[in-house]
Amino acid sequence: MFDEVYEICYFYIYNISYIYNISSYKKGEKMTEEMEKKLIEKIGKLEKRIEELEEKVKIIEQIIPICSSCKKIRTEEGKWIPVEEFLREHIDFTHSICPECVEKLYPELHKKKG
């Protein structure tokens, strides 16, 4: 998630500086059609990424109804799905392994570190 936030911030900074450079290019001089086309394209890309980011923020900020017994999550459509499925649909994951699982699954590696 942090890598994606970094990528989005970099994307915005790069594109905003690009837009600024084009829009302030030789003040008083009209933009060429090509420059205007590039500017509109960049603004469109920024707007799309902003919408994507807003959707992710909505998901993160919302209160998620979860069954106190089976831990299924109720979707906006009212369907109950396993928590893993909900997370897979809404969040990007990276895989790792905790120290307890390393010890349990790979005891020979744990002993070498110890």
Q: pLDDT by residue (tens digit) across 89-113?
A: 877 777 788 888 888 998 887 666 5
Q: How many domains does the chain have?
A: 2
pLDDT on residue 99: 87
The reply to whether 91 and 35 lie within a common domain is no
CB neighbourhood size of 16 (10 A): 13
Looking at 24, 42, 62, the residue that finishes a domain is 62
- Is the whole model's pTM more than 0.75, yes or no? no
Is the separation of the CB atoms in 73 and 65 below 8 Å?
Answer: yes
Q: Is 75 in the same domain as 102?
A: yes
User: Residue 19: pLDDT above 80?
Assistant: no
Give per-residue pLDDT as tens, 72-82: 999 889 999 99
- Exposure of 108 in the CB half-sphere (CA atoms within 13 A): 0
Q: Which residue has the higher pLDDT, 55 or 2?
A: 55
Query: What pLDDT is attached to residue 78?
Result: 92
Task: Write out the residue range of the structural domain in which residue 27 sits.
Answer: 1-62
Q: DSSP 3-state assignment of 114?
A: coil
From 62, 78, 106, the end of a domain falls on 62
Same domain, 58 and 69: no
Q: Which pLDDT tens digit goes with each residue over 22-52? A: 555 555 566 677 777 877 887 788 788 878 8
